[in-house]
Structures are given as structure tokens and as C-alpha cells.
A and B are shown apart, each in its own frame.
Chain A
Amino acid sequence: MSEVPRVYSGGRLKGAPKRRNTARRRFGCGRFLVLIILVVFAYAAWTTRDSCSIARLTPADQKYRVEFTDLLNARQRIAQSAVWQALPESTPLARVRDTLAQELALPAGLPGAVPDWILNNLFHQGLYVTGNDLAAFSDVLVLTKMSRVGTLIERLHGFVPGIERDSAGGLELRRLPDPGLYYAVRGRVLALSPSRSALVTALALAPEEALGDDALLIGHGAAGSEDVRGTLTLSEGDPAGDVFESIRFAAYVDAAAAHVKCRAKLRPACREQWDALLAGVSPQRLVPPPDGMLVVSANFGKSVRDLWAALGQGLDAPILSEEEWVAWESPAEGESPGLAAFFTRLLGPLGPGIRLSWCGLDVNEMFPTPEIVGTFDAPEDALDRFVAALPAIPEGTPEWASVPRFDEGSRRLRLPMIGGPSIEPTAGPHRDGLLLSTSRTAAERFLDSPGPEPAAIPGPGNLYVCIRPYACVERIAEAGRLLAKENLIRGHTFDSFDAMACQWLACAAGIDQVRAIAAVDGGEITLDVEMSCTARTSE
């Protein structure tokens, strides 16, 4: 380094080359820039600090709370699930689907969709939905925690047309007139609601009125990888509130199915009403019913007769009463049992395992006739005892007369009725129990070829239901068209019924089956539902 002092006149020497003091100027500008950046960062850090929790904005007394656990990561999987396509157009869920598809780019890639990075920052940590109005969801409050970037993006709302300011007494709400939504930001929490009042309430909560952080965690015994979980606290008058006090649920959607698990607590009055059915009931191993479009397997630890009366008490239906059963069971002295006596006497002692299957609908019968097959747990000698109690058929009784007939060779019992075999109740031994069908044709199908023992229904329970909607609708539509052709469907011409049937078929087309298994344990009912759909092929 040179020791020579340098003197500067401050003026420019004539002839000297022009020099710019760029370093000093750069330094000064940079310092200013750094300062600005520091200030901006400090401001950003300050304004996007995590100063508020979701629990702080969640009222403690809400009737429902739903948590979407990982919506952002799961949204592609959820959005592309065939389940959504199977939702009937008229249902609220279908409207939700359409809204999400339009507004939130689910599935991604739709024109005009919100970019992923914005969504990722806006819905950064979970999504909570809560409210009190279970009928119309008018006060639904959506809470999510944004990232710092998301919070900053929101700060730019002033540049976004269509967002209005609503001071709300200093609460500083924003209003989106077009969808009719209000929102506010506290810390990084974004609170959104169609109800201004609900949003104001949430923002003005006293600490003791808010849900604690611990209470925010929604637990579910069987939940694990669910996409959504929630609790409902019901009052009388709410939908299902007359039956249940509370419901907890969790749901998971994959490419071709939706799984829902529920645990519901019965209201005491309801528990009392259904006491005859539910008292002492515990989950059982359920046996699969015969194959059909709609099948039910039940085991409430009761005989058919007791189950009938218990259902009558629960449903408050006089026709399901013990008295009616006795009246049907007891024809006049010396009379052969008619249809009612046939069924009540034969079925009364059977159980507790009961399997019913709607396996067909014969549109060619005298009138369109459903074919129902039931299998029942039964003592080995149940059929013999029933047959032994039958009065002898008087000599000369014509073959077509409507009296029960037992064929020793095939060990089958049948009751000729009117029309053809689809209206001819038939019973026979089947595996370890008894099979009884409303249709001789259907009964013979199962009795002649019992087939291998079907796989057990997974999990214990008391009631199992499985429906294949398309098959059901297809058969109903076929029968309906036949009737409508002769103007036999109330309020419909053939064309109007046909159009309606086509809509039903279109709705049902995407659903393979819906399975549900319910179990009663103590005062609680657990329900696992699975809806399987036809997976969409990727295009």
C-alpha cells in the first residue's frame, strides 16, 4: 500500500479523466437497500408472527368440529377418487365437489385454478371447520393456519379486486361479496365464514369461551390415516339429535373407495326405547348372507320372534307387535296355516343369526315380485318340528291348493300361492341352519348348489348391510318401466318414468357397492361404512 498522501482538491483537474465515485455511491445505495430489506423482513416477521392459535378462535360450545388432517397433500388423491364421480348430482356433497373443483383447483390443472404454491401457503397447517347449525350450516367457521408467506400474500388483499373492508367495530374483517364470505386474519390464523356474526363471535371470544389447545385435537378410537375426522354434539331437534347425543367420525378416501368410521352415543330416551333390542347385546361374528343385490346379516342374540317384538317396541309400530305375531301364528282350529302362519311359525324360533338377501326381481311374475332369500341359525330339528305340527292335508286336496307341502326326499317345504314359482315360499336345510325364500326358484338355486362356505364378514358386529346400488336400481327400473307402460306408476307416464330411471341408473353407475357394519357395545354404536366405486381410468 502506498504511504503517499493524496490530496484532493475536490475539484476536477482540467484534462483529468472523469471519474465516478461509484464505490461510495454503491455503498450508500446498498446500505439503504439493506436497511429497507431489513425493515421489510422485520415487518414481515412481525406481522406474520404466530401470535394466535386456532383453538383461541374456536368457540368451545360448537356442535360440530371437523378437522381435515392433511388436505393439501391428500387433495390430489381425494380429488381424483372415483367416489366423487359417484355422488348423485342432487346431493350437498356433489355441490361441495363441484365448488372445490372450480374454486380450489381440485383436481389440479383446471383452467383458472389457484396455483399450488398459494394454496400451500394459505392452508399451511390443517383445516378446521366448526359451527352450530347442523341443518343448513349457515354459521360454519373455517379456520386454518397460514404460512408466513401465506400471511404476507393475504396482506396484499388490497391489490385484489373484489375484497372489501369491513371494520366491524375494529375487528377488521374482509368481505368477499361474490361467494358471500367474510374472513379475518389473526396472527397466521385465517378465519373464514359465510356468517359475519359467527366470524365476529370467533374473533371476540373471551379466553374462557374458546376451545383449549388440548381440546382441539379430535380423537377417534379407530382413526389413524383418516383424511377428515370430527365430532358432533347433538341436541334434540338437530338432525339425528333425537337419537344420538354425540357422534365421532373419521373418513378416508382413496382412489376407488370411501371409508367412514363412526362412534355414536345413544340418547338415554332412545336407549330406553330400544332397550328390548339393544340390552345385553355385544358384537358377534356375523355370517355372510346369500349373494344378492341387497344383503343383511344380523345377530342381536335374539330369536326372530323376539327380534320382531323388539323392533316393534323401538319403532313404535303396531304391526311389529307381539300381539300381531300371536294372531298370525294361530289360525283357527283345524285350519291349515296360511301365509302369515307359515312364516311366523317357521321363523319364530329361528335365530339369533339372521341373513337376508334380495337376490332378484321377477318382472315376469303375476306382478313384479322381489325374490328374497333368508338363512337362519336354527336347531337341527327346526324344520322337522314345524312339519310335524302341520295338520294333515285332507285327502283330495288339489295339488295347487295353498297348503304347506313337505317333500321328504328333498326335505323341502313349500307353500303354493298364486302365480308362479316366484311367489311360492320354500324352505329347506341349508348348511347349519335353515333357508327360507319367498321364491321357489331362488330357494332351489341356493339349496341345489350351496357352494363353498363364504368368507366371514370382517370384524365383529351386530348388523351388516351391503348394497349394490346399480343392480338394485336396474331391477327397479325394469319393473317400473313395465308398470309405467300401462300407466300404473302414480304421477308418471312411461317417458317421464324412463327419464327418471335413466337418472337413477346414471347416479348408481359409479358405485360398486356400499357396505356397513354396525356394532352395539354398551350405550354406543360403532359403524364402519365403505363405499367402493369404479376407479376412473387415467387419461
Chain B
Amino acid sequence: MVMRRVPLVLLIALCLTQGGAHALEAGAAKVEITPPLGTPLNGYYDRLGRGATAVHDPVWVRCLYLNDGDTGLFLVSADLCAINKELRARVLELAPKEVPPEHIILTATHTHSAQGGMIRGVLFRSVSGRFMPDVLEQTAGRFAEAMRAAYQARKRAAIGFATAAQEGLSVNRRDKDGPVDSQVGVIRVEDSDGNPIAIVANFAAHPTSVGGADQFSISADYPGFYYAELEQRAGDGCVAMFMNGAEGNQTCANPEGKSGWGKTESVGRLLAQLVMKTADTISCGDAKLAIGYATPELPPTIAPDLFSSTTVIQTLEIDDLLLTFYPGEPCVELALRMRERALARGYAAQFSVGLANDYLLYFAPAESYSHLCYETAMSFFGPRIEEWLSRQFSLLMTRGESEPEPEPAAPAGAEALGGAQYLTLTGSPYGIGFQRAAAFREAIAAAYQERIVAPCDSGLLIPEEGLWQFAPPFINLTTFALPRLGIGARPMLAGLSDGVLRELDGMAGGAGMPFDALWLVQIAPTIHAHADVAELYRAPFCTMFAVVGSRAGADDVLVGRNLDWAEPEPPVVIKERPESGCAFVQVGFPWNAGVFTGMNDAGIVVCAERVPARGEPSVDGPPVEFVLRDVLAGADNLESAMARLDQPHLRGYHVLVAERSSATARVIEFGETAVVRAPEEGILLGIEPEAGDIDAEARARYTRLRGLLSEERIVAVPEIQVFLADSAPPEADPAAPPLEQGAIFNPLTRHCVVFEPKPGRMHVAVPGDDGALGEYAAITLGEYEP
């Protein structure tokens, strides 16, 4: 008897449980949050924090309460520019306790015509206006009021979703041919009689259509017209909600060719019509809800004072619909790729929602990081922020496999090579960069501090014009200058291969510093080469020469190279064996990912020498050392090397390229125009000492070098080693000041290298603590031979 009853009880319990899980409840409410006139509006710098003068249309907070029996949540959308931390914190304090804070999703429509004044920090006030605690309190209170009302209005409900394709409602504001998110996501929530409780739209476009004489009018922008149209169509009792998408580089179009408010109205109305039409097609039912919530540590940023160290990442799943909530403004590329990933993991649809829970400004895709525009300039977490966000969302998704965490790169162990440190790096570009930076973490941090932060602190890298000059002396301008420098340096990334970018990213990771900071360290020589701060880094990179043909004896081609450098930095020799491309060895310093002196396994040798007479290095493209790095990583003959060096932005350098197969070398003088020189009588000097415009030190060095070379009929490795160590003082005018770098081997020489491209061997020597040149050590690209 008992045995027969148990299955029945279980069946009843199971039914009850199942029934409970699917008894979806929903409620929706809206509360007006229009602030008093005089309140600053949030979103445009040029308003200069002045207060609102009129109300065009009211602004609202709209809330949808959902509960599937297991998971209760508030989905809140407010006509605000952003959800800042102060607002979120206060809203969560005031929110009804029926829903845990992790299940409260706060989003902003991003209208630029609603109240600011809710940010306590000074740095954001130029956009959001003065801090008004009463406005913050009042707005947060209305949020809570909307949540309470939605909760109280809860009833048995059904839910469904669909997507529609829009055309002509939005455009890519940065590139007219650029990608547009044509998807409009729609969620319909209805009561048991089929009457809509709420209709939620997800559409990506900046609500920035209000301007001109109306820029001080309060308005919800096009979402305001959307609400009016949709609610009129859906009937009383339906709360129209709007969640902006990945609108970073998306803005509303002008579908009916109207101007002023007419344009705003048309976008809102047409969007509402499309949403209503789509919502009418949705068949609603019960649904399983799942909320993902995390507060991860953010990647390092060059503007740490603008942001907290953590943020809020949320996902919402309604059956097989995935919503990802970005704490800022993602560009559309991120959303499109996120959608692909979500669909691949088994979701039926995915909506990206921007401006949710936090405001970290923009998230630009890696491919546009070097293209300076507003969206990329306002993106502060490095070029790989998309990957970071994607990984965070991935961890919260309940369907499919999470994206694997990047393999932790094993730290590279440095060996001694003469007086230098020698590293062999293999693996992915990211791993190579990570290993290298992890090995020289302190040196890289010190380089950043000395070359970038300290000159900012001292005012050397602070502009003397514009608003900078009006700053009171007690203000720490470094806080402003570092992000500005970081942004300004990004165009110099243009043209770098993805491999180099990933290696730099790896270096930033290994050094534990922001990508922008790591890049500033890389381009510090270029920054400091400019006239106003030239005294910091006036040292040229010298000396270099090639001996080819019969003058090189059986070796065919040999290259000698000394590098002079003002800073007494530890020399390093790094052998990179990337997964693809050429393996190469570079001699340099712990921090520099670019190449001043190097050779690859195809026998290509590159050296660079700064020649001030050829002009200031340009900042319109990557610095010369990164171009040389690209040559080593990809060129396998002189022709392809020369092709990679054909970069019009290069200026102020001489570059020597030598190659094994043709046993020859070239010097390219990058001035106003690029001039290519070939060896004469088997000798090719980095600088012609007869050139009229070179400095006295270079002339003295190369005159001496030419004399030494001309004394030898055949110049082999031992002779070159002797020449590079030659420290005979130049025959200078006794009346002239002493030439510190007048000798080939001088107090600023940091390494001496002889390249033998034919066997793929190089001999490296560095000065010891006593300043004398140490023993040469040989390295091949095959193995290390001390």
C-alpha cells in the first residue's frame, strides 16, 4: 500500500514543483523622473554644465518585474545618459528587498537630454555638470518607486521574444559604410488575457538627435516618441520599454528626411511601429529565467582615476534568449561578434544592451584601436577589451562551452650572455610578450615611471597651451596628461601586424600595466625626440656599417653595429621563435618590443640610427623600431624587407638592411624623402661622413670608421670586433666642446654586435661595470653558443 502511494505523492510533488517553476509573474510600471529646471543635463561637453531651461518631453524610469518562481528580477530602463556608480549604489539601497541586488538590472537609454548632476567625482563633471545630491536622491527614489510599483502590479504572465530587421533607422556614425546593427530585439510580456504588460525594444543608436536651440531642453530623445507611439498602439496598461544596444558608433538616421524634432519623432515612431508589429507576432508562454552576475576586476587602464577597479557584468537568459549587459558603450562590432558566439553556443537570439549598471565609457574593437576617433579615444581599457568582455559574458552563459581562459605563459628564465641577459621566447605572440615582460617587470615599470610619468610630473610632457596653462599649480596635471598621451599615441599603432599588437598586449599583461602605458614606453624615444624635450633623449643610435662582397672575404656580407643610448639600461638579447613568421634575435633593452638591432633566421639584418638632420620622427605611424621588427618577423629577402620599409611616415632615421642570399646591404635615409644607398667598393656606412648636415659627433665617428676600414683589404669578424671597440678620440677642433660620442666605442655605447648573416650568427658584447667592453659571445638562431 505504502509502496503504491509513494510514486503518486512524488508525481504530485513533481507537478507542483514544475508548476511553480513556470508560474511566470510579471508587473511593469513607469515613474517620471523629470528633474527641475536648472539641473545640468548629461552628455555633451559643450553645455559646460549649464542647467536645463525647458522640458520638451518628460523623462521616465520604467521597470519590468519578472519571476519564474525560481528567479525574480527587475529590469529597469531609465531615460538617462548613463547609470553611474553613485546612482546604482543608491538605487540598490532603496530597492525593494523582494529581489536581491544581483538580480536588479539597471540600464540607461543614453538620452543626452536628461539630468546629470549625479556624479560626485570632479573628472566627469565637465560632461554631467555639478554634483547635485538632491537630484541623485530624487532620481534614485523614483527608481525604487518604479520597482515597488512593478512588483505590486505583478500578475500571472507570459513572455516571448522575437527579432526584426530595421533598415534606415540607424547608421554607423564613424564610417558611413561601416557595420550597422540591423537587428531590433523585442520582448513581449502579457497577462493571462493576452494584454501586453510591457513591450521591451532593443535597438542600437545614439539618442543624440536633440541639439541647437533645444540642447538645454529635457527630453528622452527618440525613445520618448517611441514610448508615446508604442503605448498608444498597445493600449493602456502596457509599459513601453527601451534598451539601447551596442550604440558606440551607431546613431539614428533620418528615415523621413526631416529636421529638428521631426527627425527625432520619425525615428521613435517608426521604431515603435516596427516593434509593435513584431510584438504582435510573438507567441508568449512560460519561460525559464536565469541571471548571471559578476563583479570582475577590470583590466589595467591608463586612466585609473576615472573608473573603479571592478565593474558589474550581467546576463539575462529568457529561455534561449541571451541578453548581455555592457557597462558602457560598446561599438557595434562587439555586438555582432557576441551574437555570433551566442548563436554558436545554442541560443536562439542574443540582444546586446549597452549603458547597463556602470559607465566605463566606450568599448572599441581592436581593429579600430589605432584609428583615432571619439569612440576609440574614449576607450580606456586597451585594444583587447572586447576579448575581456566576451570572456566575462562567456563565464555567465548557461549554454554551450565557456571560452577557454588564455593559457598562462610560463615565465621566461634569463641566462647570462656576457654582460647581457639572454632570453629565448617561444609560443603565441601574446605568450612571447607576456614571458618577456614578466621577466623584466620591474625594468619596464621603471621605464614607464622615468620616461613618461616623471616628465609629466615635472611638466616636460605637459602642453603649454590651451586649458593646460590655466591649471593652478597645485593641480596634478599628470592625471590628465597620461590618458591624453595614451590616446595620442594610438595612431602610431596603425600598420602594426596583429602579431605585434598581441605581443604588446602580452607584454602589458606580463608587466601588469595598461596597454596604453606599455605603448607609451615603447614610443618614448619618439616622444622625446621632439625638439621641446630633446635633451632627455638626444642620443642617436650609432654606429652601423656593412662590408660586402670580396671585402668580406668568404663571409659575403658582414654587419657591424654599436648602439649608443643615453640611459644606462641593462642590455638584453632576446630570441623570439613565434608560431608563425621568422624567428629572430634582437639586442636591446628589457622594455622595448621594437627592434634597434636584430637579425632573423632568413639572414635579414636590420639596424637603425637616429639622424636629427633628417627631421623629427613622425607620429603618424609606428616608430621605426616597430617597422624593423615587422621586417624581421616577415621578410625573407632584401626585396620584401625594402617593401616593408616603404613607409612614408618614417622620418629622422637611417636604417641599414643587409641580407644573406644576395649578400648585399642598403642604407635608407629617411628624411623628407627616402634615399637609398648601396655599398661602394664593398663598404656601406650608416652615415656618409661627407654629408653636410650631420652632427659633428657622427662625422667624427664615421670618419674614423672609414679610415679603419680602408686600412684592411679584407674585413672579417675579428677586424669588425676591433673596430667596434675602437675608442680613439676624434681629431676635433681643440676650441670646440668635447665630443662625447665622437669615438666609435664611447661612454654611451650599450652594445656592440657583429652579424654574420650567412651562417645566421651574431657576436654580442656589452660594456661591463667598469665601462670597458666585455667579451664577445656568439649566438646563432639555431642554438645558444656562449
Contact = CB atoms under 8 A, between A and B. Distances in A.
**How big is the B interface, by class?**
20 to 34
Contact of A399 (B53, B121, B479): B53
Contact of A418 (B50, B475, B477): B50
B130 interface: yes
B153 interface: no
B53 A366 contact: no
B637 interface: no
A180 to B, nearest CB: 40
A489 interface: yes
Interface string B110-134: 0000000000111101100111110
B236 to A, nearest CB: 37
A5 interface: no
Interface in A413-449: 416, 418-422
A486 B216 contact: no
A26 interface: no
A367 B476 contact: no
Given A400-B216, A419-B48, A488 B475 contact: yes
A201 interface: no
Contacts of A490: 457, 473-477
Given A364-B132, A365-B130, A490-B475, A400 B121 contact: no
Given A366-B49, A486-B121, A487-B305, A419 B473 contact: no
B475 A489 contact: yes
Most buried by A among B40, B132, B479: B479
B473 A420 contact: no
B675 interface: no
Nearest to B216: A400
Interface in B128-147: 129-133
Contacts of A400: 50-51, 53, 216
A486 B475 contact: no
Nearest to B121: A486
B130 A420 contact: yes
Contacts, number: 76
Contacts of B40: 419-420
A376 B745 CA distance: 74
B305 A420 contact: no
Q: Is the interface of A mostly helix, strand, loop or mixed?
A: loop
Contacts of A366: 48-49, 125-126, 129-130
A217 B474 CA distance: 48
A419 B474 contact: no
Contacts of B129: 366, 419-420
A422 B129 CA distance: 12
A416 B305 contact: no
Most buried by B among A399, A418, A488, A491: A488
A419 B127 CA distance: 10
Nearest to A483: B122
Contacts of B477: 490
Nearest to A363: B131
A486 B130 contact: no
Interface in B458-488: 473-477, 479
Contacts of A482: 120, 122
Contacts of B305: 486-488
A416 B50 contact: yes
A149 B121 CA distance: 70
A95 interface: no
Given A420-B40, A420-B51, A364 B479 contact: no
B122 A420 contact: no
A367 B50 contact: no
A489 B474 contact: yes
Contacts of A111: none
Contacts of A485: 121
A487 B213 contact: no
Nearest to B477: A490
Contacts of B479: 486-488
B216 A398 contact: yes
A506 to B, nearest CB: 21
Contact of B49 (A419, A483, A492): A419
Given A488-B475, A489-B476, A367 B125 contact: yes
Contacts of A421: 38
A289 B216 CA distance: 37
A419 B122 contact: no
A491 B130 contact: no
A365 B49 CA distance: 9
Contacts of B216: 398-400
Given A366-B129, A400-B216, A488 B476 contact: yes
A370 to B, nearest CB: 12
A422 B130 CA distance: 10
A491 B53 CA distance: 41
Contacts of A364: 130-133
Interface string A383-424: 000000000000010111000000000000000101111100
28 contacts: A362-B130, A364-B130, A364-B131, A364-B132, A364-B133, A366-B125, A366-B130, A367-B125, A368-B122, A396-B213, A398-B53, A398-B213, A419-B40, A419-B48, A419-B130, A420-B40, A420-B49, A422-B130, A486-B122, A486-B123, A487-B304, A488-B476, A488-B479, A489-B476, A490-B474, A490-B476, A490-B477, A492-B476
Given A366-B48, A366-B125, A489-B475, 16 more contacts: A364-B133, A400-B50, A400-B51, A400-B53, A416-B50, A418-B49, A420-B129, A420-B130, A482-B122, A483-B475, A486-B121, A488-B305, A488-B475, A488-B476, A490-B475, A491-B476
Q: Would you list the 5 A-B pairs with minimal beta carbon distance, nearest first?
A: A418-B48, A419-B49, A364-B131, A490-B476, A420-B130
